[in-house]
Structure 1
C-alpha cells in the first residue's frame, strides 16, 4: 500500500476562512484507494455557525443513504459523529466558538479486502476523536 501526496486547499473569504487537507492511500499499482482522510477547519468571521451546526449536510444525506448520528461528549462546545450506512464513511464534526472542525474517514469497505484485515469501526472512531483533540489543541496555540 502506498500513500499519495496530501492535497491541501485554503480559502480566505471575508465571511469564512477555511483550510482543508486530504490524504489517501493507493494500491501497489497506484490506483484503488482503500482509505482517505480529510481534515477541515472553517473559521466563521461574521456569523455564528451554531445555528446551523445540527442541520444535516446535504452531501451526507444525498450520497450516504442511512446516517447514524451520535453526540460526542467533552469535545468542543458540541460534537457529533456521523456514521454512514455500511460504515464506510465516518464524519466527526466539532463546533468550538466560531470554528467548525471536521475530520472524515472514507473507505471503500471496512470489511476484509485484498489481504487487508477488516477494520474495527469503533477503533477508527476513537482514533478520529483523539486526532481531533490534537488538531484543535495545535491550532489554538
Structure 2
C-alpha cells in the first residue's frame, strides 16, 4: 500500500505573484515580441498610406477624366453683341436690324444663339442669319461633328451639298441646301461648335408693278462672307 508522502516542513503560506517577464523570441538579441508587433504595425501603416495614396490618385484621375475637354472660348449671354456679321451686311446691302438672343447653361453644355433679320422689303430678296455657339464641357464634340445638318433643321444630311473649309478651326464644313435658300457654316475648335446659318427669301407678291426679285446671293461671295464673319466671331470669343 502506498503511504502518504512525507514532508519535512509545513505548507508555505501563499506568496504574492511574481511579474512575468516578457516572452522572448529565440535569437541572439533576445528582442521582446512587443517590438516585432511594433514593426509589423509600421508595415501595416505604410501599406495603408500607400493604398490611400493610390485611391486619391485614382479619384484624381477619374475627376480629371470627367472634367471634359479644355474649352478655348468664353460663354457670353448676349451673343448678338459679338456677332456683328459685317461681311454679310456688306454682301447683301441690308443691315440686320432685328436681333434676338437666347442662351442656356448646364453642367454638360453652355450655349448661346443670336437670330438676326434684315426685315422684309417689297421686290427685294430679304436675308436672315442665325449664330449658335455651343461649349461642350463633358465630352469632346469632335466625335459627332458633321453627322447631321444642324440642331434646328430637322432634315437629313443628304439635303445639303457639303464641302470642307480649310484653315478655319480644327475642322469646318460649308453646307449649301439642295433646292433650299439656305447655307450653313459649322466649325469645330477648342471644345466648341460654331454654327452660322443664312437664309434668303424672295418677294413674289401679286403686285405686277413691283420690281422683279433681285435673286439669291452670289454663291462664292456668300461663302466668303460667312467664313470671314465666323472668323471674326471666334476671335472675339477666344478665351
| TM-score for both structures, normalised by structure 1 | 0.83
| TM-score for both structures, normalised by structure 2 | 0.51
Q: Work out whether 1:132 is the aligned partner of 2:230.
A: yes
Most deviating of 11-20 and 80-89: 80-89
Structure 1 position 62, deviation (Å):
2.0
Corresponding residue of 2:197: 104
Corresponding residue of 2:145: 53
How do 1:13-28 and structure 2 match up within 5 A? 13-28=106-121
Counterpart-to-counterpart distance in 2, 1:20 and 1:114: 34
Structure 1 unaligned blocks of 5 or more: none
Q: Work out whether 1:34 is the aligned partner of 2:121.
A: no
SS in 1 for 2:179: helix
With over 3 angstroms needed to count, the CA separation of the structure-2 counterparts of 1:52 and 1:107, relative to structure 1, is same
Higher strand proportion: 1
Q: Work out whether 1:62 is the aligned partner of 2:155.
A: yes
Q: Work out whether 1:123 is the aligned partner of 2:221.
A: yes
Write the deviation string for residues 82-134 of structure 1: whole angstroms up to 9, x where unpaired: 1001351001000002100111001125xxx9555232121011000000110
Write the deviation string for residues 10-61 of structure 1: whole angstroms up to 9, x where unpaired: 10111000010010122258xx982110111100001000000021236546
Write the deviation string for residues 47-83 of structure 1: whole angstroms up to 9, x where unpaired: 0000000212365462786310000000000000010
Q: Work out whether 1:44 is the aligned partner of 2:141.
A: no
Higher helix proportion: 2
Structure 2 unaligned blocks of 5 or more: 1-93, 203-209
Corresponding residue of 1:78: 171
Match for residue 8 of structure 1 among 101, 105, 109: 101
Number of equivalences: 136
Larger radius of gyration: 2
